[in-house]
Structure 1
Amino acid sequence: MTDRSGAPVVVGVDGSPSALDAVRLAAREAAARRRPLRVVHAFRWPLLGTPLGPVAATLPDAELRQEAEKLVEEAVGEARKVDAELEVTGAVAEGGAVSVLLEEGRAAALLVLGHRGLGGFAELLVGSAAVQLSARADCPVLVVRGEPRADGPVVVGVDGSPLSHEAIGFAFAEAAQRGTDLVAVHAWLYPTPVGPGDIVPLVYDPDELRAEEERVLAEAVAGWAERYPDVPVRQKVVAAGPARALVEESTDAQLTVVGVHGRGSLGGLLLGSVSHAVLHHAHSPLAIVRHRRGRDAT
């Protein structure tokens, strides 16, 4: 497991309003964690074929680089408005947004992204690049969704698998740090056929099924609750699709947390359907925690 002691919070910027929202949120997260903040802009020269926004059509290459550096300086200044004592550094890194931020994530405690972008981070619309970063980054990814708020619980999706184990631990740590409740949500549906030839039990006891789902949730949360005894926990078993349940719960949350699998160079390129849907529709900032086989989840 990578040693993250002293690792910074990293935020990607491009001068868009969404990126500045991400800077402000990242500054608050870094201050709360007592970590430095690193502001990064991905830059590619025009000859490489990557658009740099409207300014690229009128400025010489050298001035484009200066504009990129100016974006970073402005973002650093915005972060210092949040906390004047916060240690903030900025960098212009050559390369595409995804490759630059994946590299930054190797030594980061948290990677923060806006949900819309332009210029160097045009790819950071909630689309393919944000999905890749969330699925492949070596650290948790925080995507700015909805209006950040100081009240409300931390919400985490639980499915009882290793996928959600690290997400639950991250959510408990966040709730403890924020001094708020944790809402652990486990969604389930009554047995239904999902394809031709599927066999559904003719008779089943809904109460027994619900009791089993409640047991799955309780067992998934129990170990982490012992580690964080001061965090109030509410366990919610919901008869609904998991994506819908989490999006609804995110309405009143200050943070929503989901887990994703990382299965190597190919499997890690994709988010699951639930995390993908929540990424697109959550009403609160969304933390995506990647589960990797063999990693120490503590």
Structure 2
Amino acid sequence: MSGVVTVGVDGSVQSLDAVAHAAREAGHRDAALRVVHALAGPAYLDASLWERAEDRLRDEAHQLVDEAVARARSAAPDVDVSGHVLAGEPLDVLEAQSRSSELIVVGSRGRGPFKGLLLGSNAAGLAAHGRCPVVVVREQGDPSGPILLGVDGSPAGAAAVRFALDEAAAQGARVVALHAWTTWNAPVSPPGDPGEPYANLPGMLEDAEHRVLAEALAGTSERWPDVEVEHRTVHSPTREALIEASAAARLTVVGSRGRGGFKGLLLGSVSQAVLHHAHSPVAVVRG
């Protein structure tokens, strides 16, 4: 057994979907599955009220973990599954668990009070701060579809490339490596001729963006010879292209941030948009 996959649960429908996905991931990886629920004292109860409610809440927590463990064993009977109730705020607990996990999985949103949110605060926070790749399960995706890999040519994106190819090898899936570009997000070169009115001659940008994708995937056919990889370069805004393509994917993989953003951001605008709107589970991989 190679490692541990962790899934965070809170009793919501979304978290049970995440449990099934995490169980299958653990099976692909020959890893154990750790089902975790964070039990935090409600801020609106004073110490004496919390003391009286703690036993009941702890019993409920163990009950929902037992339900999640049963769901995991049903989805992947051969996986070694354990359940844990840990004290602390959910994001703190899950971030700590990510330090000893090879993958951590959560639902897109849980039982929090804001029903209209597409992405819960714990999922968003973990995607930004997790110490291992984080999968957020929004929709189930197409189990027969490819793994969709967003490629932007950034150094941080190299980790996403490796993750996607490893996933494809483990699952027997093919990869669609998609690089989307527009004249606004492609690097601009100074004109070679001062009299030339364009920084990039017609066709130069497109050729350069094809090279970005080819260079990002260089050497992958030797390292993963059994994985079929489709190179797809599209002239389109990146967010829209990835979200549209995710409808046919079993999993969408993106880096935490790419070549066009603000250096201090932990999550770039593309990864945030995909987390909110993709039609498949989304893996966010930090560089």
- Which TM-score band (shorter chain)? 0.7 to 0.9
2:253 paired with 1:257: yes
Q: CA deviation at 1:165?
A: 0.4
Give 1:119 shift: 6.0
Q: Shift of residue 237 of structure 1? A: 0.9
- In 1, Cα distance between equivalents of 2:44 and 2:168: 44
* C-alpha RMSD of the superposition: 2.7
- Offset of 1:62 from its aligned partner? 0.9
Quote the residue 2:164 is aligned against.
171
Residue type of the alignment partner of 2:238: P
TM-score by length of 2: 0.86
Whole-Å separation in 2 of the counterparts to 1:231 and 1:109:
21
Q: Distance in 2 between matches of 1:239 and 1:125?
A: 27
Give yes or no for contact 2:181–2:236 (8 Å, CA) kept in 1.
Answer: yes
What's the CA shift string for 1:80-107, capped at 9, x where partnerless?
Answer: 1112222110101111110000000000
- Which deviations, in whole Å up to 9, do the C-alpha atoms of 1:151-190 show, x marking residues without a partner? 1111111111112100011111111112121111111112
- Cα shift readout 1:180-202 (whole Å, capped 9, x = no counterpart): 2111111111259xxxxxxxx83
**Does the 8 Å contact 1:117/1:125 carry over to 2?**
no
- Alignment pair present for 1:278 and 2:274: yes
Partner of 1:198: none
Match of 1:29 in 2: 25
Residue 205 in structure 1 maps to residue 198 in structure 2: no
Matched letter for residue 19 of structure 2: V
* Match of residue 70 from structure 2: 77
Identity rate, percent? 49
8 Å CA contact retained: 2:179, 2:232 = yes
2:153 pairs with 1:157: no
Work out the CA distance in 2 between the residues paired with 1:159 and 1:115.
Answer: 24
Alignment match of 1:190 (pick from 183, 190, 195): 183
Q: Deviations over 1:107-162 (max 9, x none)?
A: 00110010121169x9x961443222112111100111222432111111111111
Q: Following TM superposition, by how much is the alpha carbon of 1:261 offset from its aligned partner in structure 2, in angstroms?
A: 4.6
Q: Which residue of 1 aligns with 2:133?
A: 140
Paired with 1:269 and 1:38, the residues of 2 have a C-alpha distance of: 30
Match of residue 9, structure 1, among 2, 5, 15 = 5
Please tell me the residue identity of whatever aligns with 1:112. Answer: V
Which structure 1 residue ranges, 5 or more long, are not aligned? 51-55, 193-200, 292-298
For residues 17 and 285 of structure 1, the distance between their equivalents in structure 2, rounded to whole angstroms, comes to 15
8 Å contact kept, 1:145–1:284 = yes
Q: Which blocks of at least 5 consecutive residues in structure 2 are unaligned?
A: 186-195
Match of 1:217 in 2: 213
Counterpart in 2 of 1:295?
Answer: none
Query: In structure 2, what is the Cα distance between the partners aligned to 1:191 and 1:256?
Result: 24
CA separation of 1:247 and 1:270: change in aligned 2, threshold 3 A = same
- Return closer, same or farther for 1:60/1:127 CA change in 2, 3 Å cut-off: closer
CA gap 1:94/1:184 in 2 versus in 1, 3 angstroms: same
Q: Aligned partners of 1:6, 1:93: CA distance in 2, in Å?
A: 24
Residue 105 of structure 1 is matched in structure 2 by 98
For 1:114 and 1:159, how far apart are their aligned partners in 2? 26
Which has the higher mean CA deviation after the structures are superposed, 69-78 or 224-233? 224-233
The CA deviation string for residues 37-71 of structure 1, in whole angstroms up to 9 with x for no partner, is 0000011123x448xxxxx99x8321111111111
Do the aligned residues in 1 keep the contact of 2:142 with 2:248 (CA within 8 Å)?
A: no
Paired positions, count = 268
Between the aligned partners of 1:22 and 1:39, the Cα distance in structure 2 is 10
Q: Which amino acid aligns with 1:212?
A: A
Q: Does 1:45 align with 2:41?
A: yes
The separation in 1 between residues aligned to 2:97 and 2:111, in whole angstroms, is 20
